[in-house]
Structures are given as C-alpha cells and as structure tokens.
Structure 1
C-alpha cells in the first residue's frame, strides 16, 4: 500500500465540509473549520501508524492504508482547494 501525505491549509478552508462526506477522517474542528482525525471514522480502525502534525494554519497527516482514493476524492471535492494529497512512498 502506498504511503501518502495529506495537507490541509486551515487558512484556506472556509468550512463548507465537502471533504467530510468523502473521507470521515476529515471532521469539524472547534474553530468551525475542517481538521484531520485518524480515529474519527467508526468503520475503519486507525492502525496507530498515522501521524498528524499541526504547524500554524497547516495540518499534515501521513497515512499508510488502502484509503488513498477516499482522501483524493475529499481533496477534489474541496471548492477552495485547501487539501493536497500526495504519495510519498510505497
């Protein structure tokens, strides 16, 4: 399975939440904008291999699972292009 990195620019996000319907790891944060929580999906268990870091207004999460397409769909659904997904390894 490919390892992939998801970057969410909080400053760009405007809380439309189209991403939440494509990938349940995107959730609403206390500030009314999207964030990433690997444990938020009740169907899939997080493996513990995920990393999520927050730097200023940027959230970067790394995953190694079979859900890359879900995450790409979430990024494509974002009308303000606040989400970037890129494969970083195999």
Structure 2
C-alpha cells in the first residue's frame, strides 16, 4: 500500500468534475468546486485525513487506490489536482 496526498487547488478548479467519474472520493463541494470526501465512495470503506481551506483541499490516504487518484488528476483539464506519494 502507498501513503499519498491528493491536493485540489481551488483557484485552478473550474467545477468541470471530470475527476468525479475517475475516483468517487471526489465530490462537488458547497462552493461548487471539487472536494474530497472519503465517505462518498459507495464501494470501499475509505479512511483519509482531509483538510479543506479557502485555497485548497488536501487529503492523505494510506491504501492501494493511488491509481484512481492519478486518473482523476489526469482527467482534470485545468490541472487543479496533484497526487504525490508521501514518505514517512
């Protein structure tokens, strides 16, 4: 399993939501932009730490779903999503 961090830069997000179809942890936030909700996944019981500020959403996960996160980032036409592995 990998420990990785997902970041959504809110100033770059246009609310196109291509990420939602690649990874169900991405959802539409109250502000109309993409955010991350580990509980939104209907299939996997997912644990993650999510910090949502005015500038960005940062979520850290320790599971084997980094490829889904990378697919969501690649689908974002505004490059608002970044995925990076975290070494402890």
TM-score range, shorter chain: over 0.9
**Structure with the higher fraction of residues in helix conformation:** 2
Structure 2 Cα separation of the partners of residues 75 and 23 of structure 1: 9
Q: Does 1:4 align with 2:4?
A: yes
Runs of 4+ displaced beyond 4 Å: none
Shift of 1:30: 1.3
Matches within 5 A, 1:50-89: 50-89=48-87
TM-score, scaled relative to structure 2: 0.94
Deviation digits for residues 8-59 of structure 1 (CA, Å, limit 9, x no counterpart): 0111100110000000000011111110001100100023xx1111232111
Q: Which residue of 2 aligns with 1:18?
A: 18
Structure 2 Cα separation of the partners of residues 61 and 69 of structure 1: 15
RMSD: 1.1
Q: Which runs of 5+ in 1 are unaligned?
A: none
TM-score, scaled relative to structure 1: 0.92
Structure 1 Cα separation of the partners of residues 87 and 44 of structure 2: 22
SS in 1 for 2:39: coil
